Each structure stands twice: as structure tokens, then as C-alpha cells.
Amino acid sequence: MVAALVSVCAIARLLLGPVWHRQSETGATGKRFSQGSGGHRRGRWLLPWIHTCSRVVYPLLSWQSRRRLARLLLRAGLQDRIDAEWLVGVQCMAGFLGGAGYVWLACLLWPGLETAMHVVLAVLAALLAAAYPWLWLRDQVVRRQRLMARQLPFMLDMTVLCVTAGLNLAGALQQAAQRGLAGPLKEELKHALGDMRAGMSRQQALQAMADRTGTPGIQALVAALLQAETMGSGLGPVLEAQATQRRQERFLAAEQQALEAPVKMLLPLVLCIFPCTFLVLGFPVAVRLMQAYG
């Protein structure tokens, strides 16, 4: 049963994969997808159904759910390529394909199973398939936040050097954005600088960047900078202290992951390695016992 559910979810993922990834590449309108060719045409027939599901289901969501999806897309950096309405449509279509795929597979493999059990397993398969786009989005958010946390100490070191050399905070951030490592942190920093040039105050631009990223290190940095500007203290010591703290947090996180590794390895060892080892060691003994007492 578990293998069947996994197979159904994999089939739904295979069918929706070209649609989903093409949507993330071309934007929320999906216009270029309709003109695509090759492997991406495999899911073209799903587009009208996805749009229909999104138009029907998305208005039924509460405003909290809509804002939660929009915030996840924003923190994943996909707000310009995937919208919340499209995500809901993909989830609905994935759930339908998961449930229908299980029904088709169950009719082939287990025709004598009770109808109630089929219904329960079909609903479970639909829920698992519908959860995949949301889980994928959560994974993208976590990966992006981890990458920004790794890049933050280097960006702070560059900012400290620029401030120590005599630049103001805006100029130091501009140099860090131009010469920093390529990645989401550099993009968010350029976004904040663009907001400042568009007329937004520095406090509002930095606070908006902290809200967009959702990274604790960036939120702590923005809070420290705003407090330093309010109190009139120097920015150099504040930035240097933040860089040291972020670097220590990285070291502590690495140590914590190293300590968690044996615990995470325990389940694969118990389920996979130990049974095979005991089987190899115990099979000759069992054969000899059977020959001796058989």
C-alpha cells in the first residue's frame, strides 16, 4: 500500500513537473509555456485545468491563507514568477491526479479490496500529492534563508571595511551589493537600495528587507542598525559586533548539526544496515544448525 501511494505521488509529480518548473522559469502568466516545445509540451493539456482550479478554489481561501502563501512566495524569492493563485491550482490538480492515479492503480492490483479502504487510501494519496507543491515551496524558503545566513558574515565584513574607510551606511551597503557574493542576499540588498533611491526612507527599506527575507540574522541586523541610528551611536562597532555574532552563530549551527548526525544515522542503521549485517552473519549459523538437527 505504501509503495502504491508513493508511486501515485511520483506519477503526479512527473505529470506536473514540466508545468510547475516552466511556470517558475517564465513567470505567473505562463504565456511562453503555451508556445513551448519538446519535453515541456508533456503537461500542456493540464494548463486549462490548473487555471480553472485556481479561479474556483483560490477565492474560497481565507485572507490569512492567501497572505501566508504570498509570504512564502516572497521569502522564497518567487513572487515575480509564481503567484499564490497558480500555486493553489497546481495543488488542486496534483491532488486530483494523486487520487485518480490511486483509483486506477488499485483497480489493477487490488480489485478485491474493500471499497471503504479504497476511499481512505485514495483520499490519502490525494492529500500527499496536493501537499507536494507546498512542501517544495517551504523547502525553497529554508534553502534561501540558509544561503543568506551563510553569506551574511561576509557582507557584514565588507560593510564594516567601507564604514571604517569613511563611507556612510548607504554607500557601504552599495559597495557590498556590488562586490558581494552572488546570491539571494545580494539581490535583497539591491532591492533595498532600489527602494531607497525610489524615495523610501532607509529605516523603511531595511525593515522591508527584513520582512521579505524572514532570516533571524538579517532581522537582528536591521534592528541593531535602526537602534544605532535612533540612539546616535557609531555604526562601525555595531556592524562589527553583528558580523562577529553571525559568524559565531554559523559555528554553533555547524556544531549542532555535527552532534545531530549520529542521531539521524540511527534510523537508517537500524532499518537498513543492521538487518543486512545480521542476515549475513546469521545465515551460515542457521544453515549449520539446520544441517545438524534437521
pLDDT, position 206: 85
Radius of gyration of the chain (CA): 26
**Residue-range definition of the domain harbouring residue 209:** 148-250
Residue 64 placed within a domain: yes
How sure is the predictor about 294, in pLDDT bands with cuts at 50, 70 and 90? low
Residue 286 placed within a domain: no
Asked if the model's pLDDT at residue 236 lies above 60, the reply is yes
pLDDT, position 113: 65
pLDDT, position 41: 53
Mean pLDDT score, 83-102:
82
**Where are the alpha helices (H) located in the chain, listed in sequence order?**
2-26, 31-34, 47-57, 63-75, 84-109, 115-164, 169-179, 184-197, 202-213, 216-231, 235-268, 274-293
Phi, psi of 201 (to 5 degrees): -70, 160
Residue 292 placed within a domain: no
> Concatenated DSSP letters for 98-133?
HHHHHHHHHHHH-TTS-HHHHHHHHHHHHHHHHHHH
Cα separation, 191 vs 203, in Å, equals: 14
- Residue 156 and residue 92 share a domain: no
- Residue 119 and residue 30 share a domain: yes
Assigned C-alpha cell, 81: 514568477
Residue 135 placed within a domain: yes
Phi, psi of 252 (to 5 degrees): -65, -40
- Residue 155 and residue 98 share a domain: no
pTM for this one? 0.69
Cα separation, 174 vs 170, in Å, equals: 6
- Residue 108 and residue 26 share a domain: yes
- Residue 156 and residue 22 share a domain: no
- Residue 140 and residue 16 share a domain: yes
Residue 275 placed within a domain: no
Number of domains in the chain: 2
- Residue 152 and residue 136 share a domain: no
- Residue 163 and residue 121 share a domain: no
Tell me the residue type at 150: R
pLDDT in tens, 136-178: 888 989 998 888 888 888 888 888 888 888 778 788 888 888 8
